[in-house]
């Protein structure tokens, strides 16, 4: 990720600083740029192959290529849907402004609100179609009501007092995520019904008590309306980053005299804003994980040892492979919170806290 970020940042700097060269020699400059992108991709592919352990089986190229093509096709459709909704909202607002012949100030305000509506509509449309698109991209099997996994999910979501989602088992050898994940909007039905994806390897590797604990965490996220909070924060951060980058880009035109500084001010501001947004989303994710973990134990009756064991099993903890520090802090925070919750509720009523 760091290599990709540095590559993109370098390419952006090259594009901005090579404007004169590209105007004078467009064919050569663009050929060099495309060649640099392909060369970076080749280097990254070699690094990924070298980082792969010797015990890993090399994936079949044809199968891998087919999955990549499906991901590109359906991912492009999802991106196109977002862009169409966004530009459709802005275009509809512009047409309404032209029809009603609004003054300049009110026209600007209307276009801003049209952009807001487009961002919200685009995000909601993307969230809505994600279950359908992932079922197309990933090799999965729908679990019928007679399957053991479906019965476990139904029982766990009943404890959380939320509707049970559609359940799909991921069977592709190379697409086996460590944790179950739920996607979709709760109000939708049919092909866009919220779907819980569970890897087949996970169901074979850990006992049912730990599998129930992991599924309970997803149910707790639904019961605590974490997806709605993530959507709200994501929307707010997108708007904040857009306004911050735009404001600093306009401000740079008045502050800096150097034309190159004026050009690179907005991209630098955008990168910084999105780094800050990523940090805030990461903090929200950690808080929601702790909240869901404690909700599983205190409200849904999940055994604490099973939940901690499931978290450790996900990372295949051993002497040679210790769990990551972030996961260790998650377990420690859960144990600390539950210990103090138990001490608080077991203390006599007349004992000062």
pLDDT in tens, the chain (353 residues): 666 666 666 666 666 666 666 677 777 777 777 777 777 777 777 776 666 544 445 555 455 667 778 888 888 888 889 889 988 998 999 999 999 888 888 888 888 888 888 888 888 898 899 999 998 888 788 887 778 888 999 999 999 999 999 999 988 777 777 788 888 888 888 889 999 999 888 888 888 888 999 999 989 998 998 888 887 887 788 778 777 777 777 787 788 777 777 777 777 777 777 788 888 888 888 899 899 999 999 889 898 888 888 888 877 655 456 677 878 888 888 888 888 877 666 655 555 54
pTM: 0.68
d(CA 94, CA 116): 13
**Model pLDDT, residue 165:** 92
Cβ neighbour number for residue 319 with a 10 Å cutoff: 5
| Nearest Cα to Cα of residue 194 among 255, 248, 135 | 135
Q: Which of 216, 121, 135 is nearest to 168 (CA)?
A: 135
The per-residue pLDDT for 167 is 92
Cα dist from 119 to 29, 35, 49, 85, 239, whole Å: 35, 34, 38, 8, 9
| Per-residue model confidence (pLDDT) at position 195 | 92
Cβ–Cβ under 8 Å, residues 131 and 166: yes
Tokens 């205190």 locate to: 298
162 close to 104: Cβ distance less than 8 angstroms: no
């Amino acid at each position: 990720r760091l290599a990709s970020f540095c590559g993109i940042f370098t390419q952006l700097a090259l594009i901005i600083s090579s404007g004169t060269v590209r105007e004078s020699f467009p064919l050569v400059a663009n050929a060099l740029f495309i060649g640099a992108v392909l060369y970076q991709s080749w280097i990254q592919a070699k690094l990924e192959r070298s980082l792969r352990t010797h015990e890993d089986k090399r994936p079949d190229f044809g199968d891998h290529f087919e999955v990549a093509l499906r991901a590109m096709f359906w991912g492009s459709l999802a991106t196109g849907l977002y862009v169409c909704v966004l530009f459709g909202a802005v275009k509809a607002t512009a047409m309404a402004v032209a029809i009603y012949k609004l003054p300049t100030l009110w026209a600007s305000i209307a276009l801003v609100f049209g952009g807001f509506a487009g961002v919200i509509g685009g995000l909601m449309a993307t969230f809505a179609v994600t279950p359908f698109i992932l079922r197309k991209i990933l090799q999965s099997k729908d679990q019928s009501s007679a399957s053991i996994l479906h019965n476990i999910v139904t029982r766990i979501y009943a404890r959380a007092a939320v509707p049970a989602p559609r359940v799909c088992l991921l069977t592709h050898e190379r697409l086996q995520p460590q944790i179950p994940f739920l996607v979709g909007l709760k109000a939708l039905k049919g092909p866009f019904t919220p779907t819980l994806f569970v890897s087949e390897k996970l169901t074979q590797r850990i006992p049912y008590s730990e599998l129930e604990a992991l599924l309970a965490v997803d149910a707790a996220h639904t019961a605590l309306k974490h997806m709605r909070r993530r959507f709200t924060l994501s929307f707010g951060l997108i708007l904040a980053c857009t306004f911050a980058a735009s404001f600093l880009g306009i401000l740079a035109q008045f502050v800096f005299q150097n034309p190159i500084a004026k050009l690179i001010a907005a991209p630098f501001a955008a990168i910084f804003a999105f780094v800050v947004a990523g940090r805030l989303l990461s903090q929200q994710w950690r808080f929601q994980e702790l909240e869901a973990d404690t909700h599983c134990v205190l409200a849904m009756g999940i055994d604490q040892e099973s939940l901690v064991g499931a978290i450790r099993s996900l990372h295949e903890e051993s002497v040679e492979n210790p769990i990551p520090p972030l996961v260790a802090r998650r377990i420690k925070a859960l144990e600390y919170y539950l210990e103090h919750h138990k001490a608080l509720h077991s203390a006599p009523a007349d004992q000062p806290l």
